[in-house]
Amino acid sequence: MKRIFVTGSGGQVGTELVAHLRRLYGDANVMASDFKAQEGHSGPFALLDVRDRGAIASLLDAFKPDTVMHLAGILSARGEANPQQLWETNMGGLYNMLEVARERGCSVFFPSSIAAFGPNTPADNTPQDTIQRPTTIYGVSKVAGELLCDYYHLKYGVDARGLRFPGLISYEALPGGGTTDYAVHIYYEARARGRYTSYIAAGSYMDMMYMPDALDAVVRLMEADPAKLRHRSAFNISAMSFDPEGIAASIRKVLPDFELDYDVDPERQAIADSWPNSLDCSAAREEWGFAPRYDLDAMTRDMLARVPER
């Protein structure tokens, strides 16, 4: 990667990925874009609606990137409220980006998700290659996106690569409507009030990862030797698996008086119940050296130290 174009730069991942890429490749070589105006960028920024293929083409022609990080999209909980809008944005946007990238010879990064699995998927140590029958429109869009990226690679030679992100935890940007958002909110509430009411039930295990490890994984994958990649568009990655009680226990090692109670949201709980408990990440380790640094307690110590700064 030398010049990188990022969509969805105002989202939870995009906010930090743009800054990370600019540290690695230089401010002028990373162009951020989002459908909302943003301030404080150290490098180029453009407004972009990814449903507008002509606008994408114009921006890529002007900036001339070799790599596109296509992060723009609507998340799981928000998507269930308006599935038509999610499909138009997530799938229409990805199709537009792959078409424009195909015409201009760009590599493409596509973020898939544990939402691509479903209730019939093996829940524990979920294999890299397994049944995928999701029950949310977000999950359906992720499976379709994985397949579309594979198709563009096989049919047109587009260097499309991707990761199945677990829940991502960060102190830089608040999440934007995902099912795993509780694992971010709990740290803010622990510092602010010393207690948290979880909308996810006790015993609901989901894979998670601290954002610094996620950013490192994106760069490692996109810089990897393509000859070593047997999989491309959807590597399982994860660093930890816990339920609300597990994260509460970790917080109490720093804040002993922290209290956790529950007011379960049936809709988000149903989504959580359809996702895996833990992922088999061996393909990512073997093919491009995936190696997360943070476990739950290390992440908790860092989050609780940094949240007051926010």
β-strands 240-242, 206-210 pairing: antiparallel
Residue 281, domain member (yes or no): no
Residue 244, domain member (yes or no): yes
Contact 63, 31 (CB under 8 A): yes
Question: Which pLDDT tens digits describe the chain residue by residue (310 residues)?
Answer: 999 999 999 998 999 999 999 999 999 999 999 999 888 788 999 999 999 999 999 999 999 999 999 999 998 778 889 999 999 999 999 999 999 999 999 999 999 999 999 999 999 999 999 999 999 999 999 999 999 999 999 999 999 999 999 999 998 877 677 788 899 999 999 999 999 999 999 999 999 999 999 999 999 999 999 999 999 889 999 999 999 999 999 999 999 999 999 999 998 899 899 889 999 999 999 999 999 999 999 999 999 999 986 6
> Which of 25, 95, 138, 262 is the catalytic position?
138
Residue 284, domain member (yes or no): no
d(CA 265, CA 55): 39
Q: Do 203 and 213 belong together in one domain?
A: no
CATH code, domain with 196: 3.90.25
Q: Do 84 and 179 belong together in one domain?
A: no
- pLDDT of the residue at 76: 79
Q: Do 261 and 183 belong together in one domain?
A: yes
- pLDDT of the residue at 9: 95
Contact 134, 143 (CB under 8 A): yes
Residue 212, domain member (yes or no): yes
- Taking Cα atoms as reference points, which of 103, 58, 310, 72 lies closest to residue 191? 310
Q: Do 219 and 251 belong together in one domain?
A: no
Contact 79, 86 (CB under 8 A): yes
Residue bearing tokens 């943070």: 294
CATH code, domain with 103: 3.40.50.720
Q: How many domains does the chain have?
A: 2
Long-range contacts of 36-40 (CB under 8 A, 24+ apart): 36/10, 38/9, 38/10
Alpha-carbon Rg of the chain, whole angstroms? 19
Q: Do 77 and 226 belong together in one domain?
A: yes
Q: Do 110 and 198 belong together in one domain?
A: no
Which SS3 state, helix, strand or coil, does residue 52 take? coil
Residue 82, domain member (yes or no): yes
Q: Do 127 and 196 belong together in one domain?
A: no
Q: Do 248 and 128 belong together in one domain?
A: no
* Structure token digits, residue 125: 């140590």
Q: Do 9 and 108 belong together in one domain?
A: yes
Domain end (from 236, 252, 285):
236
138 is an active site residue: yes
Domain that holds residue 183: 171-207+240-276+293-309
Q: Do 180 and 146 belong together in one domain?
A: no
- pLDDT of the residue at 140: 96
Contact 167, 183 (CB under 8 A): yes
DSSP 6: E
Residue 248, domain member (yes or no): yes
Answer yes or no: pTM beyond 0.85.
Answer: yes
DSSP H helices, the chain, are 12-25, 53-63, 76-81, 83-104, 137-156, 182-192, 211-223, 244-252, 266-273, 282-288, 296-306
Q: Do 13 and 151 belong together in one domain?
A: yes
Residue 285, domain member (yes or no): no
- pLDDT of the residue at 145: 98
- Can you spell out the DSSP letters for 139-166? HHHHHHHHHHHHHHHHHH---EEEEEE-
- pLDDT of the residue at 310: 63
Residue 28, domain member (yes or no): yes
- pLDDT of the residue at 309: 65
Q: Do 64 and 163 belong together in one domain?
A: yes
